[in-house]
Amino acid sequence: MHRFTKAFKTFPPQLWLLCLGALLTSIGNAAVFPFFTVYLNQKLGASMTLVGALLSLNSFLSLFSQTIGGELADRWGRKSTILLGLATGAVVWLWMGTVRSIVAIIPVLIAAGLIGNLSGPATQSMIADLIPSERRTEAYSLQRIAVNLGFAIGPAIGGFIATRSYVLLFISAAVLVLIVAFIFALFIRETKPEGEPILAVDPQNGNGYKAVLKDRLFMAFCLLSILSMLGYAQIMTTLPVYMKKWHNISEAYFGTLMSINGGMIVLLQFPIARLVEPFNKAISLAAGSLIYAFGFTMVGFSGAFYLFAISMAVITLGELVIAPVSTAFTADLAPEHLRGRYMGVSGLTWGISFALGALVGGAAMDRIDPRFIWFGSGVLSALAGIGFIVIKQFVKRRFQKAGAR
């Protein structure tokens, strides 16, 4: 315990402000997202195929906000990009509260997709600017603790509010985002590096997204991450409907399930981040993907709430390994002057996984036994785990060349 306390004290105050912002915004997001498919399906009358298509469209458009956010973070600055993302996000939440039909929500979801991830690459880049390579896995784990503390709190609040008023739910999320924007505007400083870049890739590749796309190791990492996370995307899309419609498990129980996920991350994320720090990052990613595979497959065999809870615990264990290592891996590979773009492309892996997962999962639930969604997700995650093992030596050589672990 003393070691952990000492480690916490050595991080700069700005990291803790970023963690506070992550906590508040995640409470708002987690209060809404687990119940959003239920809102579209049961309140606005959309079929699950249409729900999947709309969420897929939203996620596809978020790919643009990731790339734009990465570009702005490198050119305009981290702080300004973060504030822009927060302000526009609050507007979208308020707009969503005015919607009364499935047709009217389409432009809202389009807007949400186009601006929803503007601040993500800037936030991750700011942490990389503040923290040296050897401690980034720990730093990103602290941010994830904040996010998942919000996810432990948010679903219970969201479930309570959603049973009374979805409009109030959207307004509450907007207020939390505006509070974070106010805090950041006053108290965080710009961290965008100036001067000569420190290159981690061959300079002949050039600058901008051209250099990122030519980094074959990083592109392989992104493709494997997509395979690994397709199942995780189902948790926020098809799982709540699957539990309620096929097993008669209410939103309140699903909120409890998500709180289990968040609570485990709050308690275990930092110790596990320190545990995996010495290992080759590809091996850590492989282990996490194989744990994912086991957890997703377990969901397909679950029928009672306690079985879903056990499955979620296994999936969360995989997440505890994969999430901080993935971000630290990206930060280690990226040159200083391209950090925002690398983080933007890395963030696309979630957007692509969510878009594909929502589209395929939603359509599958209307047509086939939904258990096969989870069995298929398990197979894909296992393949990703094998892929990470294959690229282990390439990762080792790159990090040795770049001076990173």
* Cβ contact 176:50 at 8 Å: no
- Alpha carbon distance 295, 312 (integer Å): 7
Residue 38, in any domain of the structure: yes
d(CA 223, CA 228): 9
Residue of 160, 168, 405 whose CA lies nearest to 279: 405
> Is the whole model's pTM more than 0.85, yes or no?
no
Taking 3-state DSSP, the helix, strand and coil percentages for the chain, each rounded to the nearest 5, stand at 85, 0, 15
Domain for residue 198, yes or no?
no
Is residue 4 in some structural domain?
no
Is 81 domain-assigned? yes
3-class DSSP assignment, residue 137: helix
311 touches 257 (CB < 8 A): no
Is the distance from CB of 61 to CB of 110 less than 8 angstroms?
yes
Instruction: List, for residues 343-395, the tens digit of each pLDDT value.
Output: 988 888 877 887 788 788 878 887 777 788 889 999 999 999 999 999 888 87
The answer to whether residue 192 sits within a structural domain is: no
pLDDT-based confidence at residue 8 (cuts at 50, 70, 90): low
Tens-place pLDDT, residues 266-289: 899 999 988 888 888 889 999 999
The Cα-based distances of 137 to 93, 104, 244, 246, 324 in angstroms read: 32, 42, 37, 39, 5
Domain that holds residue 111: 14-186+205-402
* Structural domain total, the chain: 1
Considering the domain boundaries, does residue 272 fall inside one? yes
| 5 is a domain residue | no
Residues whose CB falls within 8 Å of the CB of residue 385, separated by 6 or more in sequence, listed in order: 228, 285, 286, 287, 288, 289, 290, 292, 293
Least confident piece of the model among 214-218, 260-264, 322-326, 377-381: 260-264
Which structure tokens are listed for 300? 């397909």
Question: How far is residue 174's CA from residue 87's CA, in Å, rounded to a whole number?
Answer: 9
Residue length of the chain: 405
Residue 182, in any domain of the structure: yes
Which tokens belong to 35?
A: 């119940």
- Per-residue pLDDT at 403: 55
Kindly report the average pLDDT of the chain as a whole number: 85
Are the CB atoms for 154 and 26 separated by under 8 Å?
A: yes
CA distance to 7, 103, 361, per residue, from 119 (Å): 27, 28, 28
pLDDT at position 198 is 41
d(CA 167, CA 169): 5
Residue 405: DSSP 8-state: -
Residue 1 or 298, more confident: 298
Q: What is the CATH classification number for the domain harbouring 308? A: 1.20.1250.20
pLDDT on residue 37: 81
CB atoms within 10 A of CB 325: 26
Is the per-residue pLDDT at 4 higher than 60? Answer: no
The single-letter code of the amino acid at 387 is: G
What pLDDT is stored for residue 1 in this prediction? 52
Residue reference for tokens 């999320």: 173
Closest C-alpha to 291, from 312, 305, 268: 312
* Residue 154 confidence (pLDDT): 87
